[in-house]
Chain A
Amino acid sequence: MGIRFNEVSYGYSSFAQGLYTAIKDINLEITEKNEFIALVGHTGSGKSTLAKHMNALIFPTSGTLEIFGHTITNKRNKKIKYNDIRKKVGLVFQFPEYQLFEETVEKDIMFGPMNFQITKEEAKKLAKQSLKLVGLDDSYLSRNPYNLSGGEKKRVSIAGILAMDPDILVLDEPTSGLDPAGKRILMDLFKNINETTGKTIIIITHDMDLVYQYFNRVLVMNDGHLMFDGKTEALFQKEDVTDYHLDYPNTIKVLKYLNQELNLNMNVFQKTTAEALAEIKRAVKL
């Protein structure tokens, strides 16, 4: 059992808005192995608040949260070693590259694991391994993180979390700010880590094309509620996705337009351009 939300709600209080409930009555189960999950929703829908619960960075206002056997409630429990939870569930914030601070890539990646009582040698070994996982070779170890490109910085910061060897990895919009090629490289990398190590990966994103092409399971947040938890295909087959302030993937939108304009009867649920192309050709042949 990885993470389970039981009727979890979380409220912020602020002078301006009074009590504001960011997430409401969330019930959700995430297994600790082999899951690849997209978490979507408009800004302010509660996605980030949901993610912050996953490694007990914040505690539920009401309801309970189970993370690897520890039960989290709204009170801090002295018996729980929160550090253990944070080692099991790694959280990567948006624009993690702003958090790089050491003078070499190696030191930066070692920083995390060194907090968990291991030797310097072990940490160095972990740094090397996790750098390889994110697709960078050893020559990067001695480089200054500030002189790397945006995409490289992102990968180094992700390696820093991987070095702590979490079972579950939660990433908040890891591909934002990258060009299309950089996006795909990073997504392929996550998929690869997921498949080779079996780590469960949860990714917050706004990019419906990526959601459709890469993920099996998708969680949709809207106004603090978990509106959908299921297969990606099933989500986009729904007629009312826009009610959740979501868009359809581009392949679906384009094929729908062709169907409507040319009175065709194509199956619009094609994930890639190649599949869409095959469907167009099939329809024309008929």
Chain B
Amino acid sequence: MSYIEIKNLTFSYNEKTNVLEDVNLEINKGEWIAVLGHNGSGKSTLAKTLVGLLEPQKGEISIDGLIMNDEFAYEIRKKIGIVFQNPDNQFVGVTVRDDIAFGMENLCVPREEMLEKIGFYAEKVNMLKFLDSEPANLSGGQKQRVAIAGILAMQSDIIIFDEATSMLDPFSREELIKYIKTLHQDGLTIIMITHDINEALLADRILVMNKGKVYAFEDTEEIMKKKSIFTDSHLELPVSLDLANALTETQEYKEIREKLWEYALMK
């Protein structure tokens, strides 16, 4: 049994058109999944059903053997955290310290333990210096890292990043990506929704959503060889692989093609 299992999931906001249609997925513990798809393909809706923010009309989600229903939703939410696109939309605390505490307060973690954890996880995301800072004095990347600390403090082991880097400048983006890599190394399960193909290349597997359906779900290296999956789904391959695919498979371009692949898959 996989860590995350999604069976026959169908979701619609208005009961006319399905935003998600018969989605079936299995994700293993510790995997890094990238989710790609055009605007309106159902990526974010999928994320919201996974954390129990939206209730699907049909189908079933189970995480670590627990089925998402009224009985277990509370348990499941502890396991899984989500970082949204706009860092300002999820900063609830007056200071960094308050914000990291928020999730634990809801779980009634004892004060002593909470203080200890705040320090520990603030250090982990390199925000210890900023514990008393207000959100107005933090950059977008810093706010995203605070959100991660809050999730880690709840002992969640699955983190969904819903276009969490799209509002960051390249420098903060790179910093956040570096951080996600260490989370992956620590064994967390990462689900990263993104429009950035170069970010998606870092994942173990890539899920392509198209009009509410799972269009493809394959190993990163395999899926990158199939240009049609991307063009069919209004997505673009990275420049390096566009070039590699455009060069004929003859001897004269062999070395260049290999180097282009190497470049694309550099982690």
Contact = CB atoms under 8 A, between A and B. Distances in A.
Q: How large is the interface on B (under 10, 10 to 19, 20 to 34, 35 or more residues)?
A: 35 or more
Contact of B234 (A149, A179, A284): A179
B85, B239, B247 interface centre (most CB from chain A within 10 Å): B239
A76 B228 CA distance: 58
Contacts, number: 101
A178 B39 contact: yes
A179 B195 contact: yes
B235 A180 contact: yes
A179 B239 contact: no
A203 B263 CA distance: 30
A182 B195 CA distance: 11
B170 interface: yes
Interface in A250-286: 250-251, 254, 257-258, 261-262, 273, 276-277, 280-281, 284
A273 B169 CA distance: 24
A14 B170 contact: no
Contact of B242 (A150, A177, A179, A273): A273
Given A182-B39, A258-B256, A14 B243 contact: no
A205 B163 CA distance: 17
Contact of A43 (B37, B168, B253): B168
Given A14-B136, A245-B170, A250-B239, A284 B252 contact: yes
Contact of B40 (A41, A149, A206, A284): A149
Given A43-B140, A180-B236, A247-B170, A276 B39 contact: no
Given A258-B256, A262-B259, A150 B40 contact: yes
A69 B200 CA distance: 49
A42 B140 CA distance: 11
Contacts of B39: 149-151, 178-179, 182
Contact of A180 (B172, B195, B240): B195
A16 B259 contact: no
Contacts of A208: 170
A258 B39 CA distance: 33
Nearest to A250: B239
A43 B172 contact: yes
B260 A277 contact: no
Contacts of B1: none
B260 A258 contact: yes
A273 B263 contact: no
A177 B166 contact: yes
A17 interface: yes
Q: How large is the interface on A (under 10, 10 to 19, 20 to 34, 35 or more residues)?
A: 35 or more
Contacts of A235: none
Interface string A37-55: 0000111100000000000
A178 B195 contact: yes
B259 A261 contact: yes
Nearest to B174: A247
A245 B38 contact: no
A142 B208 CA distance: 34
B132 to A, nearest CB: 9
A16, A43, A181, A276 interface centre (most CB from chain B within 10 Å): A43
Given A42-B171, A245-B169, A17 B243 contact: no
B260 A206 contact: no
A173 B252 CA distance: 42
A257 B136 CA distance: 40
Given A177-B166, A206-B169, A250-B239, A14 B137 contact: yes
B239 A17 contact: no
12 contacts: A42-B169, A173-B167, A177-B163, A179-B37, A180-B234, A182-B38, A254-B239, A254-B260, A254-B263, A257-B259, A273-B242, A277-B243
The 10 closest A-B pairs by CB, nearest first: A250-B239, A43-B169, A180-B236, A181-B234, A42-B169, A179-B38, A254-B240, A245-B171, A247-B170, A273-B242
Interface of B: 37-40, 85-86, 133-134, 136-137, 139-141, 163, 166-172, 195, 197-198, 234-236, 238-240, 242-243, 246-247, 252-253, 255-256, 259-260, 262-263
